[in-house]
Amino acid sequence: MIEIKNLYKGFNEEAVLKGINATFEQGKTNMIIGASGSGKSVFLKNMLGLFEPDDGEIIYSGESLLDMDIDRKSELRKEMGMLFQHSALFDSMTVEENIMFPLRMFSRMKLAERRERANEILERVNLVNLNKKMPSEISGGQQKRVALGRAIANNPQYLFCDEPNSGLDPKTATVIDQLIQEITHERNITTVIISHDMNSVMEIGETIVFLKDGLIAWEGSNKEIFKTDNEAVTDFVYSSDLFKKVRIAQNEGF
Amino acid sequence: MLIGVFKRPTKTSVLRELVLKEIDDLIIGSIGITAFISLFMGAVVALQTALNLDNPLIPKSLIGFATRQSIILEFAPTFISVIMAGKVGSYITSSIGTMRVTEQIDALEVMGINPLNYLIYPKIIALLFYPFLIAIIMFVGIFGGFLASVYGNLVSLEDFVVGLQDTFIPWHIAYAFIKTMVFGILLATIPSYHGYYMEGGALEVGKASTTSFVWTCVAIIVANYILTQILLTT
């Protein structure tokens, strides 16, 4: 579980996060949604310790991130997996080497064991026979799956995903969403996903935090988000023509 | 940055492999082009000296002497380092800069790896082997001078060898290698700094490479003057 208490962060005297309080539960896909510029990525980078908050607390299973020394932070990070928006695969390594990378860095596994584990993971993310390919030789969707494989290779307790569906077609996006949710449930880990894709929200948003202007404007689940009267949320949700039509159809009793 | 490079070291077995890879990329991968340039520069130095020797009182052995002194004192350590700032420096800046732009450095950090140590430390260690490259360059440069002057009938083999051995000061070799070590460290750190701390996208990677080349050259030229002042004039 990750708890965020009264988190503030700004740049050049401009406040981006203005006192955020949130809880991300274990075994669930927790989503942070909001329009571009609402502070989602800054929020995530604070949670990961890539940015130093101006004020507030980030608590990982009862332990404050800000009170940790650099060695403890490094240890905690070994329990984290991150799926980056553009995959961030190491382009000088093959698919297999990318997945084996965290194992090589932090485990005492021998090469054969690491290979076996990489094969298991590749099978889990539905990628086989791509072991020796370079990241540049595979599609965007496959890169996302490799990045997800790398993120879970070391059996993390916390999985962070920054816009996992950006740049993917709807079908591939659904596959990635389902994989993230399945892995979260299978391993009972705390997953935090940043997204502004409403399809993802509908698909896997078990708990949702809606961010607007650096504040949490709404919290709930994917079942509740379409019923809320919160103006900020409805503006965001029904900004697409598809969802507008769904709403009109709902109102007309279809 | 330098303090961060030596903190939280990467696993030894991984680091060893990274250092060997960097030696291959930065040192061994540069032998071809620098040796080619050196061979022809040595030849040109010998030719220029020979063509300007029109006084019959000056011995022909001066061609060998001038070639040796030019190559060892300045051409091999300094001129080749400027070329290396373009070849190796741009490679370092653009490779690290691309990793920054594509969030690969963030990925290392999130995994609990010190990116400064993982990316820059192996390059610094690899470039400590830079004097080995320069030793080859010195040999090839003098060999180029020998080919041009002896086979170009500008001087006899005996006169060229006499010139090479004339008033040889071993300290000059030490001076050249001390300079080379300093230039090696500059070649590893300045481009790494420009790559690691760059911001923006692909366009900025190109700009950072150019900036790093300029600053590395400036640093090499200034360091060359200071080291020459300290090591040869006192």
Interface size, chain A vs chain B, as Cβ–Cβ contacts under 8 Å: 55
Side chain identity, residue B101: V
Residues of chain A positioned with their CB less than 8 A from the CB of B114 = 74
The length of chain A, given as a count of residues: 254
CA distance B99 to chain A (A): 8
Question: For residue range B1-33, what is the model confidence (pLDDT) as tens digits?
Answer: 778 888 878 888 899 999 999 999 999 999 999
A55-60/A63-64 β-pairing: antiparallel
Contacts of A176 (CB under 8 A, 6+ apart): A141, A144, A145, A148, A164, A165, A168
Asked if the Cβ–Cβ distance from A106 to B112 is below 8 Å, we say yes
**Superfamily classification of domain A2-79+156-251:** P-loop containing nucleotide triphosphate hydrolases (3.40.50.300)
Task: Judge contact between A165 and A205, C-beta under 8 A.
Answer: no
Taking CA atoms, what residue in B is nearest to A77? Answer: B112
- Three-state DSSP at A160 gives strand
Q: What is the mean pLDDT of residues A209-224?
A: 88
Average pLDDT of chain A to the nearest whole number = 87
Q: pLDDT band at residue B127, thresholds of 50, 70 and 90?
A: very high
- pLDDT for residue A176: 85
- Would you place residue B79 in the very low, low, confident or very high pLDDT band (cuts 50, 70, 90)? very high
Residue A223 in contact with partner chain B when CB distance is under 8 A: no
Nearest alpha carbon to residue B91 among B119, B129, B114: B119
DSSP A110: -
**pLDDT range class, residue A253, cuts 50, 70, 90:** low
Query: Which amino acid is located at A126 in the chain?
Result: N
User: Which residues of chain B lie closer than 8 angstroms to A73, CB-CB?
Assistant: 112
- HSE-CB for B204 with a 13 A CA cutoff: 15
Q: Which of B98, B107, B114 sits opposite A84 (nearest CB)?
A: B107
Check A50 against B11: CB less than 8 A apart.
Answer: no
Angstrom distances, CA of residue B55 to CA of B49, B67, B150: 12, 18, 19
Q: What is the pLDDT confidence band of residue A168, given thresholds at 50, 70 and 90?
A: confident
Which tokens belong to B108? 């290392």
C-alpha span between B46 and B56 (Å, rounded): 17
Mean pLDDT for B63-83 is: 94
Smallest CA–CA distance from B107 into chain A, residue? A88
Q: Which residue of A has its CA nearest to B10?
A: A105
At residue B118 the predicted structure's pLDDT band, cuts being 50, 70 and 90, is very high
Q: Over chain B, what is the mean pLDDT? A: 92
Say whether B110 and A77 touch across the interface (CB within 8 A): yes
Q: Which residues of B touch A50 (CB under 8 A)?
A: 106, 109-110
